Structure formats: structure tokens, C-alpha cells
Structure 1
Amino acid sequence: MTDAAASPGLRARLLIDCSDRPGIVAAVSGLLARHGGNIVESDQHSTGAADGHFFMRMVVDLDAGPTETPEAAAERLRASFAVEVAGRFGMRWRLTLVQNRPRIAVLASREPHALMEMLWRWQRDELGGADIAFVVSNHPDHRGVVERFGLNYHHVPATRANREEAEDAILALLDGACDVVVLARYMQILTGGFLGRVGLPVINIHHSFLPAFAGAEPYRRASDRGVKIVGATAHYVTEELDAGPIIEQDVVRVDHRSSVPDMVRLGADVERMVLGRAVRWHAEDKVIEHGGKTVVF
């Protein structure tokens, strides 16, 4: 059973990264023990003993007093951790309660495969304990299917001419309503101004022909070159287009028998799987960004 599925209400996840040095694990586990915490999962990685960087993910069952709420128990541990451990080792860190389910805003356009994968996984509770808050699209096409899932669908038309107005409308919808934004084949470029104001992680999915076949009809141009694999990449969005830290990738093989429609279909399949895994891992606090890359536990 995963930590997301087995939440007793006081289960938390602790993510840490800092410069590597002796004593980190002992300090973390010692403080947790003093607070009555029971470590049920622990993963760690160091980039090297000399001048390396240290990463850790722990799942911990917390100990609360008879009248203490889960949030109060978590805040008590955060306060002690910040003073006794994090400051001493110069850590970036966060402690989240498993019971606090992340809220996802899904942005989509006309292509349905990534959106439908997100809806289906949410219905089956396979998004790492996350919930979809609502769907935003620059087209009205998928309103019916989204609303049949019991979710709100916001149609925000977006063109080059009204990009600023559209981004303002989306930001107003996102404000305080979600914890992560997922671009499920949302075919609009988000501006640096939007990314600077959103204050949330944004996850994108795209085919892995970039940068060789960027732009229109990538599968046809890839077929003309006789490519042998079709792939997909899920990554965090930065101002540098399609160059943010990669969370997950995968490929499937194609050959001379594969038509362009075959490649498009296979590409959609692998995009769905890669996006689903990336969103689940993010929701389960399994991803740490560092130096333009990610560590995924």
C-alpha cells in the first residue's frame, strides 16, 4: 500500500536537499524520534562525498497529543525542525501532511487524450492522492465530458491578440483554488509574466521530437526522416520554452511500416502515460528540483 493510500491522518512526507556532509541522516532521524515520529519510508541520494549535494524523502507517522490537530502536530514538528536541523545544515525542505490532497487545475485545448487520462485517473484516485479542482480550455469542445465527471469547465478563449486578457482570467481562476497546474496539451504559450505571477508549479507534456521537429506537423516530418522511436517528455514549465526540469520520459519503437497516423496514435498513448506518472509523482512529493534537473524518488 502506498503512503498516499494508507493515510492514518497523521502521516507526513518530508523532503530535504542540502550540501552533503556527515550527520544529516542522524540529525533528521534523531529529531523525528524525539517528537515520537515513526519513519515508514526513507530514500536518499548524494551526488558525491566531496562537494556533493544530498537529497532525502521520508514518510513519517507523526505523534500528536490527545487534543492536538494534525496541522498543529505538523506545525510543532516544523518549528523544531527549522531551528534544530534545517538551519544547522542549510537545508531546503518541506513537510506536508498526506491528508492534505493537492488540488490540480488542468488546462487543455482540442486534443483530448491527455485531458481524458487526467480525468480517468482522478476518478480512480490514481493521481497520487490529488484532486482535480477544475478544467480550463481555450476551446468549448470538452465541456460536456468534463461536466459529466462533476467538474467545472471554464472556457477562456486565448489568441495572440487577447493573450494578456486570457492569462489574467486564468490567474483569477487559479488564485487560491489549486496547488499545481497541469497543461494537458494546452496549445498556448504561457508568457513569462504569467509564470512569474502564478506562484505554482506548472507541469507540461509534449512529444520528444523537440527540438529536431518543433512546430507544425512534427510526426509527418519525423516520418519523412525515418525516425525509429516516438516519445514524450513531462517537465516543469519555465520561461525557456520546453526546457524546464524533466520529471519523466518514455518512448515506443516505430519502423518503416508505421504510418503518420500510427505514429500520432502511439505518441498520444505515451504522452498519456508519461503525464500521468509525472503528476502522480509530483503529488506524492517524490520530485525535488535542483540545478535545472530533478531527483525523482
Structure 2
Amino acid sequence: MRTFRLVIACPDRVGIVAKVSNFLATYNGWITEASHHSDNQSGWFFMRHEIRADSLPFDLEGFRQAFAPIAREFEMEWRVTDSSQRKRVVLMASRESHCLADLLHRWHSGELDCDIPCVIANHDTLRSMVEWHGIPYHHVPVDPQDKAAAFAEVERLVLEQQADAIVLARYMQILPPALCERFAQRVINIHHSFLPSFVGAKPYHQASLRGVKLIGATCHYVTDELDAGPIIEQDVVRVSHRDSIEDMVRLGKDVEKMVLSRGLRYHLEDRVLVHDNKTVVFD
């Protein structure tokens, strides 16, 4: 069923839900899903509605024009999207295949409602797997002495493919700040630890040395601060002193796949609202 997804964040006050609901009722809008959250700490209100597109008398642009006066009145940060317009997602990877393979499988089976115009990787290792799915594979090596040229090519490819989102499926390079800023809240990363614990390289080794009893994974938006962007999704698995680093890596890979796929799904379905460096996720 085709729906319009109305996503709103604004300073909290009386009458927001009533105003939006009255607007939709005026145009015979059929709400199929409604989510609200009032954040007492920030004083902001968050809302996500799905409305049957065939119940409304206008298209997406008509919706925007009709709703704009209400958005101005309540100082809203808002967007409305059409569920029938599939987002274009560029995947990026390095050598490890588990996250990339999982996303490709979910896309191939129809579980992820998006288009994948290409995969970009700094190694050629995963080419055959990607091309088996009929997806173009771009090998963009990164010279440790001169990374700028590689990231310029990455940016060119992303713009050429008109990507709505970029997913770092264990892409083991740090994106430059300019790229993070240009694609803010559109670059999704999976980090193999339960952030903010064990930022940076080899988190399973760090976890083993610390003797933790839980390891996890974190899906987050990328910012110019390493592994510190707004968190979309997390999960954990229990470990013990009996587990070696290799055991932790094996167990962690399963968590990484699940967390990344859920985080991407929430993003594709417009369920993630970012305010400051926190998220509200209407799952």
C-alpha cells in the first residue's frame, strides 16, 4: 500500500497533534500509523504519521504546499516522503564480506525496499559476489599517502548515482570531514562495539583485554568525529572468560549484520529523527 510519510520535529507546545490531525481529517487523510514522542529534556516534540496516499486529494508536492502554513506556525523541521519512491543506496565495503553479503541477500530477496545502484570498495576482493547480484562494482583504492584522490572519486560516484544514502558495510576507511558534512545524516556506519565503548580499531581485542561480559554493535550516522555520530540501532550478545578474541569476532559478526540491516531499514522507512546528536527512532 502506497503511503505518504510525514515526519515532524518542533518545539513542544499544546495543540500540535490536534492541528496535524485536523489537517489530515480535513482532506480525508487515512492514517495507518501514528507515533509521537515528547522529550522533556530538550523541550522538543517528535511525530511520524503514515497516511494512505489514495485517501488524499493531492500528490506529494500538493501535500507540501497545503501543509506549509502549519509547519511555519509551529516552527517545524519536517519532511514528507512517498513510500513508492525507492531510495537509492550506495554500499561501501573493504575486505570483510559479512555485512555486505547480508544486505545484498536482503535486497535480492525483497526484504530491503531500496535500489542499490553500485558498490564502492577500496579492495577488489568482493567483486564476484557483488556482480553476481547484477550490481556494478567500483574498485577505488585508497593510497595511505594521498587519500584525497580516492575520496574525490567516491564523491563523484555517489553524486553520479544520485544516492539518497551511503552505507559503510565494514568500509575500513575514515571519511574526510567534507564528505561527512556534505552527506550529513545520509551516511550510515556499522561499528563493531556497543558505543561509546571501544571506539576505533580492534574493539573486540579491546573488549577481550577489558574482560567484558557483553559485546555488541552500533549502527550510527557518520560525522567528522570518529564513531560518535547519532546512534540509530544497537544490540549485544553475552560472552564470558571462556571466549577467545576469535570467538568474540564470530559472535560479533552476527550482531553486526542484524544491527546494520535494522538501522538501514529504519532509515529507508523514515523512522529516524535526529535532534542534536541523539535520535528518536519510531520502530
TM-score (norm 2): 0.93
* Alignment counterpart, residue 245 of structure 2, candidates 260, 263, 268: 260
Asked whether 1:18 is paired with 2:10, we answer yes
- Looking at structure 1, the residues matched to 195 and 14 of structure 2 have their Cα atoms a distance apart, in angstroms, of 41
Contact 1:14 1:57 in 2 (8 A): yes
Deviates more, 1:240-249 or 1:33-42: 33-42
Q: CA deviation at 1:64?
A: 5.3
Aligned to 2:153, the other structure's residue is in SS state helix
Aligned to 2:33: 41
Aligned to 2:59, the other structure's residue is in SS state helix
Q: CA deviation at 1:226?
A: 1.8
Cα gap change, 1:30 to 1:64, in 2 (>3 Å): closer
- Looking at structure 2, the residues matched to 58 and 208 of structure 1 have their Cα atoms a distance apart, in angstroms, of 32
Deviates more, 1:251-260 or 1:199-208: 199-208
Matches within 5 A, 1:77-226: 77-83=63-69, 85-127=70-112, 129-175=113-159, 176-198=161-183, 201-208=186-193, 213-226=198-211
Aligned to 1:69: none
- Looking at structure 1, the residues matched to 220 and 201 of structure 2 have their Cα atoms a distance apart, in angstroms, of 21
Cα gap change, 1:209 to 1:294, in 2 (>3 Å): closer
Aligned to 1:29: 21
Unaligned runs of 5+ in 1: 1-6, 66-71
Contact 2:237 2:251 in 1 (8 A): yes
Q: CA deviation at 1:193?
A: 1.6
Give 2:26's aligned amino acid. Answer: R
- Looking at structure 2, the residues matched to 74 and 262 of structure 1 have their Cα atoms a distance apart, in angstroms, of 50
Aligned to 2:118, the other structure's residue is in SS state strand
- Looking at structure 2, the residues matched to 74 and 190 of structure 1 have their Cα atoms a distance apart, in angstroms, of 34
Aligned to 1:203, the other structure's residue is in SS state strand
Asked whether 1:295 is paired with 2:273, we answer no
Aligned to 2:259, the other structure's residue is in SS state helix
Unaligned runs of 5+ in 2: none
Contact 2:216 2:256 in 1 (8 A): yes
- Looking at structure 1, the residues matched to 234 and 156 of structure 2 have their Cα atoms a distance apart, in angstroms, of 32
- Looking at structure 1, the residues matched to 198 and 184 of structure 2 have their Cα atoms a distance apart, in angstroms, of 31
Q: CA deviation at 1:51?
A: 7.1
Contact 2:11 2:43 in 1 (8 A): yes
Aligned to 1:160, the other structure's residue is in SS state coil
Give 2:152's aligned amino acid. Answer: D
Asked whether 1:59 is paired with 2:44, we answer no
CA RMSD of aligned residues (A): 1.8
TM-score (norm 1): 0.89
Give 2:181's aligned amino acid. Answer: G
Give 1:12's aligned amino acid. Answer: F
Cα gap change, 1:244 to 1:51, in 2 (>3 Å): closer
The superposition leaves residues 60-102 of structure 1 with CA deviations (integer Å, 9 ceiling, x where unpaired) of 013455xxxxxx611111101012x100000000000000011
Contact 1:179 1:200 in 2 (8 A): no
Aligned to 1:58, the other structure's residue is in SS state strand
